[in-house]
Structure formats: C-alpha cells, structure tokens
Structure 1
C-alpha cells in the first residue's frame, strides 16, 4: 500500500479522534422575522473557523459547549451566541438576527456663492464623504459574496485542527482523498466559464451575428469554440478592442470548421 495513503489514513484517524474529543458539528439555521437569512457569515470565535449560510439559511460548524458563535450580515445587528449542550440534541437549532436601522447625520443647508455656471461653480463645490457599508463600518463590508460553487468549495476546505506547531484542516484532508475537492474545483471552473460565456453573449452577440455573419442559432456554439482557445482568458482580461479582434479572427476559423453551414 502506498506509504502516503497509509500516512493519511493514520492522520485522519487521529484527527477524527481529536475532533470528537474537542469539537463536533453543530447544525442550525439563521433566520429573521420573515425567514432564512442567505449568505450570513458564521464564525466560531474560539476556533476561528467560519462558514456561510446556504439558500435556506442553514449552516454547520465545528463547535463545543461554551464556544461563541458570531453571526453577521449586512443590515442586521451582529449577534454572538454561546453554544450549549442542547444545541447538540435532536431538536432543530435556530438563531435569529435582528434588523438594524442606520441613521444618517442631520444635513444642514447653507448659503452658497454659486453663480449657475458649471465652469466656475465646479471649482467651488466640495465633495462629501460617500455613505456606504464600508464608511458605516458594517461587519465584513466590502467582502464579495461567494457564488454557490465557491461556497461549497469553502465548506469542503473546512476548519483547521492544531497538531503541534502546525494546523491541519480535517475536512480538507478527507475531501482531498475522496476527490470532493477536485470535483468542486472543476465545478467552480465551470461556473466561472459560464459567467464569461454569458457576458460575451450579452456584450458581443450583435457583432457576432451582424458583422461576423455567425448564425444566431450558433452564437453559443461559437462562443464556446472561442473559450477553447489557449489564449482566451488572457484576451478576456485585456479589454474590448482585443476581444473584438479575437472574435473576428475566430469567426473565420469557426465558419471554415462548419463549412457545410457557411457556404
């Protein structure tokens, strides 16, 4: 048997024992007065392990009694819940978030010396500080919301368990050996490609049909043909002009490849 595989099996057995002695999965959902809160951020403040709620507001996280779970989402008050023995029972756990209102400072109208001419008035206008989630210092403001594929991959990577001076992710090791990490990374790549394909269709479909003479029924086929080019990702990120030139060149190759339909 492969020595590396034997090592992983022994390591997994050890980590499973350690996690059972220390922490186990707590299953729960996050709700407000209406229903589940999607993509709320859940962090175990003791283990520093975090996750996000799914479309139904559900999540799972490794925890033990007396751990503190911090749950936050934009538009809600950040809440901290103490894990109790009852949370590991058979009943369904629910944590409720309370919506919060942010009051803006009072605005006072002052006299000004504007003349009504853009050329001169623009020099006398002072800009005000933009008000948004970041300037209001909301929890995790500015962080990008994960896509479904990214969230699944994030969950599969799991939290870390201390071993000596290092820390190892139990979920990551198990899911790596089972092949789940590889599958989820492929799923994420497919999702990323689909986003690019949709953007190309929305942006360049008129060019593709009217200027490059690709049949409307072949637009998706043509775009996927373009994505198979080894330089596609580089060109995709290099601007509109390069993409237009690229699509024009690829249209000629596409029509030659399907010459029966493009005589």
Structure 2
C-alpha cells in the first residue's frame, strides 16, 4: 500500500512539474494607476529572445522558465524588467503594473532657412548629409564614413590587414550577447517593436550593453554621426549585426 501511494505521489509530482517547467507564462499587463488593461504592450523574454504583445484585455502568453527576465515596453509608460518565479508559472494569473510617464514637451528649435524661390540659390543653403559609404568585395557589408572620420577608408583597409585589432575588443568579450542578434532579427514582434523606438533602451536590455557601448560599436564600424543620431533601433540592430558578421569573417581561424 505504501509503495502504491509513493507511486501515485511521484506520478502527481511529475505531472505538476511537467505543467510548470516547460513553460509558458500566462499573465496580464495593467495600468498601475487604475488597474485598467493595457493592450499592445511589448513583452520580451530577454533570456530566450522571444517577444509577444498583450491583447485587448492586457493578457499575453510567452515561453518562460524560472529566473527568465521579461522586459515590458509601452509608449508613454516606464519600461520595467520582471524576473519569472515559480509562483508565476504555477498560478498563471500574475498582473504586471506599468507606471505612466509624465508627458514632457521638448523644445523644438526651428532653424530659419531664407528661401528665395530660386532652386540654384536655395539648394546651396540647405544642409546636406555628407556621409559617404564604402563597400569591400567579398564582405557584403558597407562602411559609412561621416565627418567624424575623414580617413575612414584607410582605416577600413587597415582593419582588413589587422583583423586581431578590428572589433575584437568590442565583440570578443561579449559572445553570448552577440549570439542573440540573429534571434532578435528573426522575431517579427521584436523587429516591429524596434522599428518604432529610438531610445536604445530595448537594445540595451536585449544585448546587455549600455548606450555608450552601442555608440562605440557604430563608430568603430564607421557609421556616421547622422546615422547614429537619427536611425531607429531596428536600423541600429541591423548595423550592429552586420558589424558582428564582419568581425566573425575577419576573426575566422584566430
């Protein structure tokens, strides 16, 4: 009889474990001020690099394991990270509250361009993006040389012949983070989110790098100031990914 009870207990435990270990999290997102549901909140599992969005009721389902970190992002609300716990997977009814940001209008500076109506004159007075871009056959990537670096082309050629120095300090110390790039690019929900953002916050959370490191990567890959300042987060992601693919080519065999 005791043996039978032991078998039943182990069987019940195995079913319970299977239900909560393989692992989908069902939860909802609400406005912490009034508990109202928030639709279209982007939820990213930073560990598994998987994204989803909340529905009209604020509900979402996402693959998750214990200790995975979920990143919640929604326009007008403060982004947060939440660590997945056993209880969250067991009870599947967790509510995650987001706090609304105070709206602040930034000062807009309008630069006066004195237009005369004559194309030949007006075209000389308008600012022009001077960024040039070079490509090297065989690498299938380009190099953008902005005003920051007028000797970018010679730097690029130098890097080809000195692969140990090119990008190694940027990517060589972050192999785990950089391996996430392909998964990020393949997830449509992540791509859609990044295409709407310009603050680099989601990229920093996914890649576990800070804004300064992102800027250094782009500078060392010879992207111009104008690109770094105006590109959306998806364009930045693709630029970093191209840079990393180039690093792997140059570093092959080392």
| TM value normalised by structure 1 | 0.36
| TM value normalised by structure 2 | 0.37
